[in-house]
A = this chain, B = another copy of it.
């Protein structure tokens, strides 16, 4: 299976915080934290839990650039 989304960053689930509708999943990717806000239903359907290997998927049009 191939996905058009340009950015697939493999990492590990560090933490999951659940609300009524949304959940916040914190990944560690190359020693850096990456935070994702997805639905609770997604967390349940994927059976996500801390320690899992997981990949962040990000569409190129959703990436901004900061220049110092």
Residue on B nearest A52 in the bound complex, by CB: B67
Distance of A32 Cα from B30 Cα, bound (Å): 9
- Copies of this protein chain in the complex: 6
Report whether over half of chain A's contact residues are helix, strand or loop; otherwise say mixed.
strand
A68 touches B53 (CB 8 A): yes
Chain A positions 4 through 16: 1 when the CB is less than 8 Å from some CB of chain B, otherwise 0 = 1111110000000
If the complex has contacts A67-B1, A68-B1, are A36 and B60 also in contact, measured as CB distance less than 8 A? yes
Distance of A27 Cα from B32 Cα, bound (Å): 16
B20 touches A65 (CB 8 A): no
Spell out A's residues near B (CB within 8 Å). 1-9, 17-25, 27, 29-32, 34-39, 41-43, 45-48, 52-68
